[in-house]
Amino acid sequence: MTKKNKYIRILIFLLCFISIVGTMYYFRPLNANNVFLELENVERIVFSVRFDEKKDIEFVNAEIKGKEVEYFINLLEMTKYRRVFGETNIQSQADAYDIVIVHNSNNYSIVINDSGYVVVDVRNSKKKYKILSSKNDTLLKLIDEMIMPK
């Protein structure tokens, strides 16, 4: 084996190894603090639009403050998330909420759908995530119960 062939094999092996490790790092489970911009000092949360696959768009305009904000943030923190490639429009796929998190420093929007996808829109940068784990109920059902009690 020549020196050049040995060098090429080592280089290919290193590139494959770096690609595998990089992919594993990119798709590792993330907690809510890594996904959402800021979850501390949230003034209020506004649920603006409810997308329903069976009906048209429903404007909710529900706002929560105080202890309900803490409950909602706890719901977000209970779950683990994974980065996802692909289209960021998740409203048309299933039932979804468009939510605005109001901060004293800045606001940002998130969209959560029933299929377990979350899109975080911060300063015109949309990032898509998949919910990996949550309690028995889906996150969207818990949100429904929170803002539209029976």
Residue 14 predicted with pLDDT over 90: yes
Q: Are 26 and 81 in contact (CB under 8 A)?
A: no
Q: What angle do CA 132, 134, 135 make, to 5 degrees?
A: 155
Instruction: Give me the pLDDT at residue 18, please.
Output: 96
Torsion angle defined by CA atoms of residues 121, 122, 125 and 130, in that order, rounded to the nearest 10 degrees: -50
For the chain, give every domain's residue range.
1-28, 31-147
- Tell me, what's the pLDDT at 88? 63
What's the CATH number for 31-147? 3.30.1490
CA 30 to chain centre: 10
* Token digits of residue 109: 């929007």
pLDDT in tens, 111-133: 888 778 888 887 777 888 888 86
| Average pLDDT of the chain to the nearest whole number | 80
Confidence band for 145, pLDDT divided at 50, 70 and 90: confident
pTM: 0.76
The CA-based angle 37-40-44, given to 5 degrees, is 90
